[in-house]
Structure 1
Amino acid sequence: MFDHAADAMKQPDVIRLSEDIYVLRFEMMKLYSALTAVKTLLDRGEITPDTTLMDSSSGTYGYSLAMACHKYGLRCRIVCSTKVDADIRRQLEMLGATVDQIEIPPGPLVDKMDLGVRLKRIAHLLETEENVYWMQQYHNPVHYLGYRDCAEMLQKEFGGAPFTLVGGVGSGASTGGLTTYLRELNDDVELVGVQPFESVTFGSDPVEDPVASISGIGSPVPMKNVAYELYDRVHWIGYHSAIAATGDLFRRHGLYAGMSTGCNHLAARWEAARNPGRPCVFIAADTGHRYAQTVYAHPRVNDPIDALVPNTVDDLGQLAFPWSVMDWGRRTFEPKNPES
């Protein structure tokens, strides 16, 4: 029995899709990090019951933080992306969160400007508001802690056997946290990160996606929670390929999920084919309901994916649209800061 809906919602399911491919399917993955982060900060005395917790979000982290604040009786303020629709905003407000949704004039630069504008709004609020704590999902390592339980569950599920984990990089906390704790239990866990083009994380920012950049798994600014030395390989996937892979996942397996999951599905199929017999687990971070009018209504959602093949590259200078993959080799990296 659970004490709060958030505790039930965070629980994932492992679903076998084919001989070597599995999906770690969440209703809301970032509840793992938000719930543990908030409890840890309370236990440490870094926040009090009177503190307002604040962060920037394009959707899932904001919802998760609002749920965590609801559970622990804390005030919450979310600086929202332009992509947060009226339905999600209404839910955040009903949970008690104050919502600041940024405004950017429509145009080709809206995706690139989104996070930068959100961060400027946060900086203003920190200067003008009292007793506000910025959660910093992108930089604060407290967001790793919640994934220990999930790693232990995966370890039991596969009986300690070697496997490959595929996930969107984003802030780095989910794939980084899972892999950190998994490798404490099993030294043969490969980590494959998935990125969009135009992200400074892993250096694809010079390569433009002519359609749009996929939100949530990349970034226009460096994020300290990305531990580059954990990743064995990286896939960069374009917008239309992601749309097609998301639709394929639902048609083929009945898994209704978002576009980051579609990217992970595409990468996992390639990873499993190159290493038969080794289980490959990809992350489905949330359900597909908030993408019903965008991804699932897109004319490319029915495009076939069986013929899609990545460009295998050895150097970041060789990255090419619409899909590239490179052995990363657990090396470090220093992304460019566009503001420097």
Structure 2
Amino acid sequence: MGHTPAVPGHTHTPAAPVHEHITDAIKAPDLLRLSDNVVLARFETMKVYTALGAVRTLLERGTVQPGQTLVDSSSGIYALALAMACHRYGLHCHIVASTTVDAAMRAQLEILGATVDQMPPAQDLKLDQERRVRRVRQLLAERPGMHWMRQYHDAVHYTGYREFAELVDRALPDAPLTVVGSVGTGSSTGGLVQPLRGHGRSVRLLGVQPFGSVTFGSEGFSDPEAIIAGIGSSIPFDNVRHDLYDTLHWLDFRHAMAGAVGLLREHAVFAGLSTGAAHLVAGWEAARNPDRMHLVIGADTGHRYTERVFARHQEALDPRTLAPHRITTLAELAPPWSVMEWKRRRYDVRRTAAPAQTAAQLTALTETAPTEQDQAS
């Protein structure tokens, strides 16, 4: 037989990996350039990293045994990630689900073998979260053989993000880096930034919070529309390490919505409200810090916000017209968007926050000054 000539210009491409489990296929994000100095890390469901890392570590330590039931409270994406990790490692899963968990996600959880307790509709984040924690404690009293994953408090949830840090280090190796992400439980932003800083990189961390969260002192405010899953909390989280954050941005629901709709309109990326909020913040910060690469953490897709956000796209504010109010103390905090240089300080979440007001009572405030000089890592 004759030799088959090489196709001109053709180079050999290594075979694509064939994964043994779906978690290997979806755990890593796609990196998408949004502008010269903004890159989006777009996850299908970000918390696969943390759930896999936590479950694997607990099994290796002998803390959890094969066949045991793992239980936790979740607003959605951790629930799915934990159910997938349990599916992979032969464990049972019970989820106490937020009111934000929709029918599509609940169906996935149940088909994966998870049992689900879902909280009734709630008007605010605090009530929803308190109900979930109370139900978890009740389950543990009834079934002491369950293992509570404690995603809000157990530092084991940091371990899975080392792999994400390695990916970021390879993909964005040169420029000083600013990470922009919702604070949430603290493990995604903290678990990414700690290894990067440990390698000697100049990395700034910008945390995004809603009004009404105790995590960084905005619990004195109420934003009735803002059950924004995965951004804030009505209870203290031990996994939030306040001294990792350089800057904090607080946004109301309408600003997060503007960021999410804008991301879809400008870049065809369908992502959730926490991603929308981070996208809005990153765009504003990147324009003022052109020497730094900004990495936006896009935790999940926008499907669970279809009705509350994307079906109302004509109501969305124009992101180009929005800017934060600069503050220097939490006493100055005010909706709809405030920014403060946090400077890696410690914080006691039991401190008194600003006086209680609703977001509707306060008018939008405009940008007042250029950004301060970046802190050195």
- How does the TM-score come out when normalised to structure 1? 0.95
* 1:1-340 alignment, distance < 5 Å: 1-104=18-121, 108=123, 110-298=124-312, 301-336=315-350
> Could you tell me how far apart the structure 2 residues matched to 1:102 and 1:207 are?
23
Q: 1:166 to 1:155 in 2, by over 3 A?
A: same
Deviation at 1:301, TM superposition (A): 4.9
**Which moved further from structure 2: 205-214 or 110-119?**
205-214
Is this contact kept in 2: 1:247–1:301, CA < 8 A? no
**Which moved further from structure 2: 280-289 or 301-310?**
301-310
Give secondary structure in 1 for the equivalent of 2:311: coil
Deviation at 1:158, TM superposition (A): 1.5
Identity between Structure 1 and Structure 2 (%):
50
> Could you tell me how far apart the structure 1 residues matched to 2:280 and 2:318 are?
11
RMSD (Å), alpha carbons: 1.4
> Could you tell me how far apart the structure 1 residues matched to 2:64 and 2:225 are?
42
Deviation at 1:316, TM superposition (A): 0.3
Q: Deviations over 1:138-178 (max 9, x none)?
A: 00000000011110111111124311000000000000100
Query: When the two structures are aligned, how many residues end up with a matched partner?
Result: 335
Deviation at 1:337, TM superposition (A): 8.3
> Which runs of 5 or more structure 2 residues have no equivalent in the other structure?
1-17, 353-377
> Could you tell me how far apart the structure 1 residues matched to 2:203 and 2:262 are?
27
Q: Which residue of structure 1 lines up, in the alignment, with residue 365 of structure 2?
A: none
> Could you tell me how far apart the structure 1 residues matched to 2:269 and 2:67 are?
41
Is this contact kept in 1: 2:58–2:64, CA < 8 A? yes
> Could you tell me how far apart the structure 2 residues matched to 1:207 and 1:331 are?
22
Q: 1:48 to 1:337 in 2, by over 3 A?
A: farther
Deviation at 1:215, TM superposition (A): 2.5
Deviation at 1:299, TM superposition (A): 5.0
> Could you tell me how far apart the structure 1 residues matched to 2:64 and 2:144 are?
13
Deviation at 1:3, TM superposition (A): 1.1
Is this contact kept in 1: 2:125–2:234, CA < 8 A? no
Q: Which residue of structure 1 lines up, in the alignment, with residue 358 of structure 2?
A: none
Give secondary structure in 1 for the equivalent of 2:221: coil
Spell out structure 1 runs of 4+ moving beyond 3 A.
299-302
